[in-house]
Amino acid sequence: MGKKEKYGNYIRGIKYLSIRAKVVQPQRKKNFKGEWVMTPGSVDYFVYHTKTQMAGPYKNSKDAENEAYNMISKHYTKKDLKKK
């Protein structure tokens, strides 16, 4: 059984939706030659309704917020996600 996927850090709530950020820290590893290599970190933003991911990934929080406002204006819920 695989490792449980986390939802990410809570950033902001917009009515019934929440913006969450998954942060990957930069890592320093040895490659096969024995050299130290830095792998860059990243941040991805997602729109969640309770535990269900509704949209994402986005590179900044403003894009995720705009998408959340669009979903709220269309009354989009996680039940609508299952209908697709």
CA 7 from chain centre, in angstroms, equals 7
C-alpha triplet 59, 39, 54: angle, nearest 5° = 30
Q: Is the pLDDT of residue 56 over 70?
A: yes
Whole-number Å distance between alpha carbons of 21 and 66: 15
Residue 72 binned pLDDT confidence (cut-offs 50, 70, 90): very high
Q: Is the pLDDT of residue 82 over 60?
A: yes
Q: Is the pLDDT of residue 1 over 50?
A: no
**pLDDT, position 3:** 62
pLDDT digits (tens, 9 = 90+) for 19-48: 999 999 999 999 999 999 999 999 999 999
Burial of 35-50, coded b for 16+ CB within 10 Å and e otherwise, reads eeeeeeeeebbbbbbe
Q: Is the pLDDT of residue 52 over 50?
A: yes
